[in-house]
Every structure is written in C-alpha cells, then in structure tokens.
Structure 1
Amino acid sequence: MEQDALRQTNTTVAERYLQAINDWDFDVKRELLAPDVVFEMRWAPAGFPRRIDGVEAVMEFLAPLPESIVTEGLYDIRVETLHSDPGQVVAFYKSDMKMVRPVEYKNEYVTCFTIRNGKIAHFREYYDPIPLVVAFGGSVTPPLL
C-alpha cells in the first residue's frame, strides 16, 4: 500500500476507535483491536492497571466504565502519523465527561497507537491522573513546601 494511503487508513482506524469511545460502541472497539493488543496507561493512578494484554482483557477492563461514566465527551481530536512510520499514530484530544457521581471530569490526552494490518496492536494513553482520582472520589493533597 502506498505510504499516503496507509497513513490515511491508519488515522481512520484511530479516529474510529476514539469515536467508538464517545459512542460507547464496544463492538467497534473490539473490531479495531488486534487479538494480542497491548494497552498501556503509564501514568495511571493506584488502583488502575498500567498494562493490559490481549483483546479480552482490554474489553473486560472497559466493560464496567458505563457504571461510572455517563458520556465520554472526547473533543478537539487531532490525529497524525509519524513521518518515519505511518503505522505509528498519535492522537491529541480533550475530554469533558459526565460522570455518574455529580462531579466534573475534564482532561487532556495523548494516545500513541501502533496500527498494523488495520488493527490496533498497541496503544499507550497519557493523561493527568489527578483529575481522574478526584472524579472517582479520591483526593490528592500536595506536600507542604
């Protein structure tokens, strides 16, 4: 496949995945993930996994989210590929989520996708964990300086 066409195909996969998050479309999420996908949240707070291996484990992790989150509210989505490898896709976006608990949860994300043969083989999500902790009822107290 020509590089430009491959870039377009891969950005479309990432965009579809992010839209499936907004739509709560678990079938599309599953369709877009490779069977041996790896999902990483390097800055996840305590109680959240930092790495999940395999499509079934990822789907199991995602399944209970509708119990806590009413709407995802992802917006300002920008998706790019790396020049050196069109299979490396980076997405920048923001969230304004409506939670079941009446709290505000807004965050900004950078997600790095590795897409091979039209499937997400690996994705690593970076976000500020403090708003997430607060949205789920926790607190973060900074040390006194």
Structure 2
Amino acid sequence: MMTAERLLHLHFELFVDDHERWKNLIADDLVWELPFAPALGHPARLEGRDQVLGHVGWFVGAVQDFLFYDLRIQPSTNPLEAVAQVKAKGTIKPTGRLYEQDYVLFVRVENGKLAFIREYFDPVRAALALDAPIPALAN
C-alpha cells in the first residue's frame, strides 16, 4: 500500500527534478486547494489532472535550482492521510530573484495516488520573487 507519508516523500523528491515521474503520483481526479493563491490572482482550487498539470507546469517552468528541504511529515492515524511542513528555495527564471518559501500540505491518498492536496504558502514571498502584483492588496 502506498501511504500518504511515502507519497509525500516522492512528491517533494520528484516535483521539480523529475516532473514526468511526478505525474504518475497524482490521481486523474486530484483536487489541489491553494487557499492563499487568489492573493496572487491564481485559482484557489484546481480540479482534475489537466488543471493541476497546467498550473504546476507553469511553476516548474518558472524555477531553477529549486530545492525542498527540512521536510517534516506528520503521519495520521489513517495511513492514507498526512501533513507535511517543508521549506523551499530556488531562483525565479524570469526575474532572477531568489524565492524562499515555507509550505504546509495536507494530503489524502486514494488508490495509491495523491487524490487531495491542500497547500498553504506565503503569497507575499511569491509575489516579491515573481515581481508580481498582489491583487488582494489593491482592493
């Protein structure tokens, strides 16, 4: 059985460095919630493989020398659910700026694949690295 803990390790190992292999980790009906992403003008919820791959493909293409580190996983009493805290850093290619971030992810596994991800991150750090406006602050 592929546990949430094992899939989280693989997720952070492959997401940028071997994105093609990473695609095998996700369910066709994956739901990826990003509650703070609307502050950057991005969707708060991605539904299905096509939406997820479109969005994460943009991110993977925009970073270089990207590294996840200090991974801490809190397994649940249910082996198909877990929480991860991880730090990341890399360079945003279009701006040349350093991007450093702290992430928290809640995940659920179904049929051996990532079926649900809720990801929290600091949108201000992302906006500064991307040299992007923060639409939420303009209102």
TM-score by length of 2: 0.86
Structure 1 counterpart of 2:128: 134
Contact 1:93 1:108 in 2 (8 A): yes
User: Deviation digits for residues 27-85 of structure 1, max 9, x if unmatched?
Assistant: 222111111000111111232111000012111112222442112211001122112x2
1:28 to 1, 21, 24: 21
- Say if 1:76 and 1:39 are closer, same or farther in 2 by CA, change over 3 A: same
The letter for the 2-side match of 1:120 is L
CA RMSD of aligned residues (A): 1.9
Greater relative contact order (Cα < 8 A, sep 6+): 2
Give the letter for the 1:41 counterpart. Answer: L
Which residue in the other structure is 1:39 paired with?
Answer: 32
Residues 105, 132 of structure 1: 8 Å contact kept: yes
Structure 1's consecutive aligned runs of 4 or more residues displaced over 6 angstroms after TM superposition are none
Query: Once the two structures are superposed, what CA deviation does each residue of 1:118-142 show, in whole Å capped at 9, x if it has no partner?
Result: 11000010011110011111356xx
Using structure 1 for the length normalisation, give the TM-score.
0.83
* 2:103 is aligned with 1:103: no
Q: Is the 8 A contact 2:3 2:109 kept in 1?
A: no
Structure whose CA Rg is larger: 1
SS of 2:15's equivalent? helix
- In structure 1, the residue matched to 2:82 is 89
Asked if the contact 1:89/1:115 (under 8 Å) is kept, the reply is no
Q: Distance in 2 between matches of 1:124 and 1:112?
A: 5
Corresponding residue for residue 3 of structure 1: none
Task: Point out where structure 1 has 5 or more consecutive residues left out of the alignment.
Answer: 1-5
How far did residue 97 of structure 1 move? 1.4
Matches of 1:120 and 1:109, distance apart in 2: 17
Aligned equivalents of 1:107 and 1:64: distance in 2? Answer: 17
Indicate if the aligned counterparts of 1:37 and 1:53 stay in contact, CA closer than 8 A.
yes
2:75 alignment partner AA: T
